[in-house]
Amino acid sequence: MAIAVLSCQGCGRCSQVCPADAILRNGGKVVKIDEGKCREYGDEGCRKCVEACPYGALVIMD
């Protein structure tokens, strides 16, 4: 599992809902998802960040 950051607009909604604090941002934009922290919520994470993104910028990749 990986989360691809495709077109982050820097709104911050993903990091606000992430219970694992797995989203690393720089200048407002998402630069990395810490998969180790994310997987603490299951093999595919909790997916709250994907659901929260109004731009569809976060995508679960197999």
- Could you report the per-residue pLDDT of 14-62, keeping only the tens digit for each? 999 999 999 998 887 887 889 899 888 887 788 999 999 998 888 877 6
Q: Give all domains of the chain, ordered by start, each with its CATH number.
A: 2-61 (3.30.70.20)
List beta partners, residue 32.
24
Cα 37 to Cα 30: distance, rounded to the nearest angstrom: 15
pTM of the predicted model as reported, rounded to 2 decimal places:
0.81
pLDDT digits (tens, 9 = 90+) for 51-61: 999 988 888 77
Task: Identify the helix (H) or strand (E) that includes residue 61.
Answer: strand 58-61
